Amino acid sequence: MELSVLDYSLIIVFFTIVLAIGIVVSKKSGKSSSEYFLSGRTMPWWLLGLSMVATTFSTDTPNLVTDIVRTDGVSGNWVWWAFLITGMLTVFVYAKLWRKSNVNTDLEFYELRYGGKPASFLRKFRAIYLGVIFNVITMSAVTLAAIKIGGIMLGLEPWQTVVSAGLITVTFSALGGFKGVVYTDFLLFFVAMGGAIGAAYYLVNLPEVGGVTKLLAHENVKGKLSILPDFSNTKAVITLLVIPLAVQWWSSWYPGAEPGGGGYIAQRMLAAKDANHAIGATFFFNIMHYALRPWPWILVALASIVVYPDIASISEAFPNIAADKLGHDLAYPAMLTKLPSGLLGLVLASLIAAYMSTISTQLNWGSSYIVYDFYKQQVNPNASEKKLVAVGRISTVILMVLSACLALLMQNAMEVFDMLLLFGAGTGLIFILRWFWWRINAWTEIAAMFASGALSIILKVTPVGNYLFAAETGVFPDWFQIPFVMLVTTIIWVAATFMTKPESKEVLNSFYKKIQPGGPGWEKVVVDAKADNIEIVNPNEKWSVPSGIGAMVLGCVLIYTCMFATGYWIYGETMKGLIFTGIAIVAGLFLIKAWNRMKTDIL
């Protein structure tokens, strides 16, 4: 595949604009750590919403979706579509609470909600656990996808892709800080979305594919089209629908879809002008992320089944790809090699944009943990703002190097996705309950974190996992792995909660007074405070959780029906498209009414 002058020009112009943004905002971003990591908490909802979408528009996502569609069909995407429930809960319940906390990072929350040495340990340990270990694993998956794209589309060696893509990304990330990331995300969103839609339109109309109608009628594709799994296939229903919708969304911690909000989603909520802007940003993100953006990738994945029906055909077409990098996820970049000049340059720029957006966000978010939650807490509590920014920039570079090295050792994005889900299994419910149940303490989270981590390592690294969950000979069915870790981890953290002392009255009263979480889970704290003549309840504050949950349900109905409607319109199933569009409109109208009632309660 040869790039034309036009293709190179588009890519060079794109790189130039991105670097220019980083340089322009670097002076202001370097003034203070708040500017560097939160842009002074002045960001509007639409800019933060676009940034969230751009951040999750990573190079590994279309590869992952392609792998899922080729392996399990369109319905296989429920393994991540189920996280919409988490997203809507964040929008209508937790966004307000996060913004009211006024913390610099979501880990700073630990010393707001808990007290003493356990809270301090939890904050510092998770700064490394999430900011370095989990973060590096996540970035390495994104970089692995970039390696595969570079190898197939440009013939680059893995190290060449890592150096060229990583160098520019880490430069503008370190210079521009959070503001540079968000401003470039605005550009990256439109480039990435335009590239994905343009690629889907062209590739579906390739002569060997023959357009949407012939694609949908192709014998290799017909069995992959259903948006819901085959209900006669019990295993498919359990693994693709029941577990994700009944267990996974609330029990598992996953980057970008944390129960109760967290990570870089929380970072953007904390950077918003106010709670309303935080809610608007997260709602916009969820609409784009689940209802609209996946379909261009799904269409390319379906077309790839026609052009490259199996891994052997991909290997034959691209013999230079190493055997340890072969997989169904390669089908997406393989299809992109068929794009014409101009569109090829735009799509390559869009993939670079997706890579840079995700990596720059992960770098800024991870370094914020290292600076605020580890360095300032453990190493240098009296560090100047200039020193904190310098440490942030240094840690940005180190995180990039670590993730690049790990990416060179990895093979498949789906494996990383499964591994992260397993590591977070059983911890998610704590992140939901800690706001609304006074009895949750620091030891609850410590026990859950170590239990899920240890169980995951045992199942993945030792023969125990193969003994218990081997596909044909295991004690349990292979799909039971995540529920097993979730169940055991939950038993451990519940036991730890009741075996350890609750947080002190001072900590609980202080948290309640600041956040006003309300509800029956805090009734004991409120009663005890009243008995001690301590006023912690704001009489003007209403408990908005019931109305928030109602809005969450309406939001899920709205976005899921939009997702179904989009799919059925693409499939040419007009009646189903009309029905789901009508349901989406009705749900949207009810949601507007519910939101108008809620707005008066949000400060």
Q: How many Cα atoms are found within 13 Å in the side-chain-facing hemisphere of 508?
A: 24
pLDDT at residue 571 tops 50: yes
Local confidence band at 43 (pLDDT 50, 70, 90 cut-offs): confident
Instruction: Give residue 29's pLDDT.
Output: 59
Angstrom CA distances, 120 to 117, 130, 296, 377, 378, stand at 5, 15, 45, 8, 9
Is the confidence at residue 12, as pLDDT, over 80? yes
- What are the residues whose beta carbons fall under 8 Å from the beta carbon of 313, sequence distance 6 or more? none
pLDDT for residue 562: 95
> Would you place residue 269 in the very low, low, confident or very high pLDDT band (cuts 50, 70, 90)?
confident
The pLDDT tens digits of the residues spanning 117-156 come to 999 999 888 888 888 888 888 888 888 878 877 887 777 8
What does the pLDDT read at residue 532?
A: 93
Helix axes 413-424, 442-461, angle to 10 degrees: 140
Predicted confidence at residue 566, as pLDDT, reads 94
Contacts of 246 (CB under 8 A, 6+ apart): none
- Is 206 in contact with 303 (CB distance < 8 Å)? yes
* pLDDT range class, residue 254, cuts 50, 70, 90: low
| Mean pLDDT, the chain, integer | 85
Average pLDDT on 307-330 reads 85
Q: What is the pLDDT of residues 75-86, one digit of tens each?
A: 999 988 988 998
Q: Quick one: pLDDT band at residue 172, thresholds 50, 70, 90?
A: low
Concatenated DSSP letters of 247-263? IIHHHB--TT--TT--H
pLDDT at 412 over 70: no
Instruction: From 528, 536, 547, select the one nearest 601 (Cα to Cα).
Output: 547
Q: Which two tokens stand for residue 74?
A: 């369109």
Instruction: Give the pLDDT score at 552.
Output: 92
Per residue in 389-410, pLDDT (tens digit) is 888 888 888 888 888 888 877 7
Better-predicted residue by pLDDT, 9 or 443: 443
Structure confidence by residue, pLDDT tens digits, 53-77? 877 777 778 888 999 999 999 999 9
Domains and CATH numbers, the chain: 1-20+44-242+260-412 (1.20.1730.10)
Question: What is the pLDDT at residue 603?
Answer: 44
Give the pLDDT confidence of 173-225 residue by residue, as tens digits.
676 677 777 887 788 788 888 888 999 999 999 999 999 999 999 999 999 99
pLDDT score at 31: 64
| Residue with more model confidence, 376 or 601 | 376
| Tokens, residue 592 | 């507007």
Render the burial of 220-252: b for 16+ CB within 10 Å, e for the rest: ebeebbebebeeeeeebbbbbbbbbeebbbbbb
- Is the separation of the CB atoms in 46 and 280 below 8 Å? yes
The whole-number average pLDDT for the span 304-312 is 93
Roughly how many angstroms between the first and final C-alpha of the chain, as a whole number?
56
Q: What is the pLDDT of residue 255?
A: 64
Residue 4 pLDDT: 79
- Res. 600: pLDDT tops 60: no
Q: In 3-state terms, what secondary structure has residue 43?
A: strand
Stated pTM of the model: 0.82
**How much is the pLDDT for 28?**
66
